[in-house]
Structure 1
Amino acid sequence: EQVRFRIMDLDPEDAGIDLSEPVLLSAYGERTKKSGYFRAREERAPEVLLWEDAMLGTAGFRGSGIRKAKEADRVLFTRQTFVDFPDYWVSDTRFRNPRQVTDANPQQAEYLWGERVLVDYTDDRGNELQATLALPAGYEDGRQYPMIIYFYEKMSQRHHEYSRPTYDDRPHMSTYASNGYLVLMPDIVYDMGYPGSSSLDDVVSAARATIDLGYADPDRICLQGHSWGGYETSFIVTQTDMFACVVTGAPLTNLVSMHNILYKRSGNPNANLIEWGQGRMDTSPFHDLDRYIAESPIHNVQGITTPFMILHGTDDGVVDWNQGLEYYIAARRMGKEVILLSYPGEPHHLGREENQKDFQIRMKQYFDHYLKGAPAPKWMTEGVPFLEKDRVEPEDGGPEGR
């Protein structure tokens, strides 16, 4: 199971860990995604206290994810799955007879939800990886469904994370599962110097595995990513025609120009981030310009054959708004099918509820059109002039004719 253990100290006033006494361990199954608690003693194998196919004790509290009563042999922790809200549970410190003490989300019973399964796959570089796949509510074995792939870096550890519908700038798995979609979240591992190529390998490999398992309709798959995931989606769309559409948010699209400007939120140059941080380029554009061009979405825009949509806030302090604008202008110049949703005054993630709702509606309409054949609303077919932005709602001219 490849179980990972970590020492837990339930007394914040302890000076350290006394290894002559039993030690409490948290445990996580790297392959199974199970979690729980063990007790370790010198020269003995760890003893299982609680080990479940769920995410235990990682929501609500910082550090250990569990809290002990100061003067009693009682602990409080959370338990969650994709379907089960992270309610609170209590037990003794041996985790005997755990008991649920809250029911914070009873209204969920009124809604369709779906479930998750794990997908194993091997990429073209030989890496054995996993993805977590949300199945639609009422899933029928043998039927192929439309699928959205959402990714960033490692994602499969979120297999048992409760998916609460909310307003922001990313798709929410329970929302789409309740509307008949698969949602795949694959793991990505990187070769230094080739971040875009690495993501292409792993996302395509995960998609193929899901198709081969009979879950996904190969003609109805779209991608969505934000920030670093926005970079990855923006690169992938230049390299393959496998996907029906792409939605990219706050995307880093030009590694050369991004390298040479400031990270506005901190005021630091981006060079370290691009070379040695998340960008993983392993060198500067002054030492290997060809590699920067090869891994930059904007320099490969001529290869795009898939319709795509860009989201970007004009006050983004992480990925400069001009990164999205550059990509849009380049794609338009090359005759590509692209939409730019530009939100004035918004930072890296949409902060205003009205804009969060606006984007969620538009993104759903976009996916519904390309993956379910729904009629395209007016804003997709005709665009919205700048002076009309406050007057044209996302529903205007939509499937209901409003």
Structure 2
Amino acid sequence: MADLWICAAEAGSTPSVVATDVLPGAPTFAADGSAIFFRALEGGVPHVFVQDDGATNRTRITSVKTLPHGAGPFTLSPDGTRFAFAAAASVPTSREQDNFVPRVLNSMTSIREGGAVAETQIYVGDVRTGECRQLTHSAGSAAMPTWSPQGDRIAYVESRTSEPGDSLIVSQAYVIAVDGSTAPVRFGQDTCVASPPGWWPDGQSLFAVSEPPIAHGHSRLLRLHQDGAPDEDLLGELDRNVMLPGLGYPGCHPVLTSDGESILACVRDRGCTHLYQVSVGDGRVSPILAREGTVVSAVADGNRGEAVVAFSDASSFGEIGVVNRASGELRVLTDFTARTLGSRQLGTPDTRDFEISDGTRVQGWLLLPASSKGPYPLVVDIHGGPHNAWSGTLDPARFYQHELADRGWAVLTVNSRGSDGYGQDFYSALAGNWGFADEADVLEPVRDLIAEGVADPDRLALVGYSYGGYMTCHLTTRAHGFIAAVAGGSICDLPGTVGSCDEGWNTVQLELRSNPYSGRAALADRSPTARASHVSTPTLLLHGEDDRRCRISQAEHWLALLLGRGVPAELVAYPGADHSLINGGRPSHRLDYQARLVAWLERWRRAADKPEDEAGS
């Protein structure tokens, strides 16, 4: 749950909370600005509420009886009189018994994180009366509705699988008349539509983001036509990834500006998500907010040639600002980070470029302690994905980096091969070779920092989450200079991910370029488990008990292999937590995760400290 804030669009204004306990998402002003619409829970079920501007009381406008499963994210019609949303069309007999009803798995998509593809349909509601009616009757799942400029049609995304053995979900854009007078019409050829379809200004075509399965390649911004014409790549030759919003993956849904001249979209470059615009008239692609070290995580169209953004940088966890689309000038409206930190000062990492022995250059960031001299104990933090990326910005999920720096550690983050923001070739450089293709990108920068006198070779540590956890396990089987390791949400046995991890089947085929049947022996040979007997590094494993992306059985497997040969190891399991543990888990779990990580590294640093280090501490 979250608080809903409001502030004037001028610098120096003071934001204020206008509603509490609302669901994260996009609140919407009424057409005349007199009220705010948002979603919140009532009886544990999400519904749409309206609250008059300046008031404190909210009114639910969706029916509990008509929509017992609640309403999904909504969008207002152009005239503000109606709203469209996705909702489940069928309901279990008893919500209280949901956790005790046997769960039947009969398709590849049944084991996905969050469950199988939700069977939702598009509904249209009346803002004044709250009366809602079902608009679509899709054979799959209909979601992400958007209104046409005239308000007479709705575009949406239909997702489905054809056979139980299909591991890939087909997602396509459709358009339907709001009055239901015509059958849905498919727009475009793409089968991987991943964003709400936006309307071209003339209402005759759509634009949307196409995201390859498990993001094994760059996402693209496409124009989708009704007449069977080929889809158009609106980014042309720009060799960068389009970023949609997600936990740990900052981005935005593309939006058409109110003047109809440009489409705003987020693109990742050198680890940072930047704001770009595509000219509707001539197709020109240009950056708007593309500062090194600035990450954009949400975008809304503004007035007077401006856009409203949520952003973070090296001194901010997240603020709201208004950016001029022509000049790129940013006007910051909030100071949430400063008010939260108070007098505490956080260090700023220095950007580093490292040349690997094969000639590849990788970008990194080095955060140094402020109150001591090197050589320092050094921890390398490895990002997940494997196609995520570091950016050098403040990250609440990694506040432990600053806590470690305050305790005298140097912290190194590196965008190794496979990281996003450096082109498709760099992005896909790990294909079929996880761990081995990118291990030099981690180990050689450490070697360089030792040679520079920055890092103490006797006090090195590794941490990482998801793919970063996998790499942590992998590297401890390949290098023996680490005094401690922390692997969160990790895997260690590649063939064991098939069927147990929700994307295991697709990962084996699309990322590892292998076969779930004939490739098992080769996958096993490339897994950290094949070399577990080489590990001597004390390892802490942190894992959500309900993680379907990387099953906790993988962590239990690694724990047993280490304990079985006398390596100090612990596994901490977080009840009810899934793979979003560090970004969207319970606050108490997220705090505990970071505290345990710091305590584990400090424990083994003290064990490795030299007498002169102890005397000076």
Separation in 2 of the partners of 1:154 and 1:84? 24
Q: 1:303 aligns with which of 518, 534, 544?
A: 534
CA contact (8 A) 1:136 1:182 kept: yes
Query: Counterpart of 1:313 in structure 2: which amino acid?
Result: G
Q: 1:184 aligns with which of 389, 397, 412?
A: 412
Q: Please list, as runs of the form range in 1=range in 2, the aligned pairs for 1:158-177 lying within 5 A after superposition.
A: 158-159=391-392, 161-164=393-396, 172-177=400-405
Query: Counterpart of 1:95 in structure 2: which amino acid?
Result: S
Query: Counterpart of 2:553 in structure 1: which amino acid?
Result: N
Which residue number corresponds to residue 201 of structure 1?
440
Q: Does 1:328 align with 2:562?
A: no
Which residue number corresponds to residue 389 of structure 1?
none
Q: 1:294 aligns with which of 509, 522, 525?
A: 525
CA contact (8 A) 1:36 1:52 kept: no
Query: Counterpart of 1:295 in structure 2: which amino acid?
Result: R
Larger Rg: 2
3-state SS of 1:197 partner: coil
Q: How many residue pairs were aligned?
A: 346
Query: Counterpart of 1:239 in structure 2: which amino acid?
Result: R
* Greater Cα offset, 336-345 or 320-329: 336-345
Once the two structures are superposed, what CA deviation does each residue of 1:255-276 show, in whole Å capped at 9, x if it has no partner? 12222x2435xxx7x2222221
Query: Counterpart of 2:321 in structure 1: which amino acid?
Result: W
Once the two structures are superposed, what CA deviation does each residue of 1:86-108 show, in whole Å capped at 9, x if it has no partner? 43334544337644332223343
Q: Identity of paired residues, percent? A: 21
Structure 2 CA distance for partners of 1:53 and 1:175, relative to 1, 3 Å: same
Which residue number corresponds to residue 396 of structure 1?
none
Separation in 2 of the partners of 1:6 and 1:228? 19
Structure 1 stretches lacking a partner, 5+ long = 18-22, 376-402
Query: Counterpart of 1:116 in structure 2: which amino acid?
Result: P
Query: Counterpart of 1:135 in structure 2: which amino acid?
Result: L
The Cα shift of 1:226 comes to 1.7
Separation in 2 of the partners of 1:251 and 1:102? 36
Query: Counterpart of 1:208 in structure 2: which amino acid?
Result: R
Query: Counterpart of 2:586 in structure 1: which amino acid?
Result: R
CA contact (8 A) 2:477 2:535 kept: yes
The Cα shift of 1:144 comes to 1.9
Which residue number corresponds to residue 354 of structure 2?
121
Q: Please list, as runs of the form range in 1=range in 2, the aligned pairs for 1:2-401 lying within 5 A after superposition.
A: 11-12=256-257, 30=270, 52-55=291-294, 58-59=296-297, 61=298, 65=299, 67-69=301-303, 72-78=304-310, 80-90=312-322, 92-95=324-327, 98-107=330-339, 108-138=341-371, 140=373, 143-151=374-382, 152=384, 153=386, 157-159=390-392, 161-164=393-396, 172-189=400-417, 190-259=429-498, 261-264=499-502, 270-276=504-510, 280-284=511-515, 286-350=517-581, 351-373=585-607
The Cα shift of 1:301 comes to 0.8
Separation in 2 of the partners of 1:197 and 1:5? 24
Separation in 2 of the partners of 1:6 and 1:199? 20
Structure 2 CA distance for partners of 1:366 and 1:6, relative to 1, 3 Å: closer
CA contact (8 A) 2:254 2:266 kept: no
Query: Counterpart of 2:512 in structure 1: which amino acid?
Result: M
Structure 2 CA distance for partners of 1:145 and 1:193, relative to 1, 3 Å: same
Separation in 2 of the partners of 1:146 and 1:326? 29
Separation in 2 of the partners of 1:10 and 1:289? 44
Structure 2 stretches lacking a partner, 5+ long = 1-237, 243-252, 418-428, 610-617
Separation in 1 of the partners of 2:289 and 2:430? 37
The Cα shift of 1:149 comes to 1.3
Which residue number corresponds to residue 83 of structure 2?
none
The Cα shift of 1:4 comes to 7.2
Cα root mean square deviation, aligned: 3.9
Structure 2 CA distance for partners of 1:50 and 1:298, relative to 1, 3 Å: closer
Structure 2 CA distance for partners of 1:323 and 1:34, relative to 1, 3 Å: closer
**TM-score normalized with structure 1 length:** 0.71
3-state SS of 1:359 partner: helix
Separation in 1 of the partners of 2:520 and 2:264? 51
Structure 2 CA distance for partners of 1:12 and 1:217, relative to 1, 3 Å: same
The Cα shift of 1:206 comes to 2.6
Separation in 2 of the partners of 1:318 and 1:125? 33
Separation in 1 of the partners of 2:563 and 2:531? 13
CA contact (8 A) 1:314 1:344 kept: yes
Which residue number corresponds to residue 177 of structure 2?
none
Structure 2 CA distance for partners of 1:239 and 1:96, relative to 1, 3 Å: closer
Query: Counterpart of 2:545 in structure 1: which amino acid?
Result: T
Higher strand share: 2
Once the two structures are superposed, what CA deviation does each residue of 1:102-140 show, in whole Å capped at 9, x if it has no partner? 222334341131111122123344322111222233465
Separation in 2 of the partners of 1:83 and 1:5? 26
Separation in 1 of the partners of 2:273 and 2:337? 23
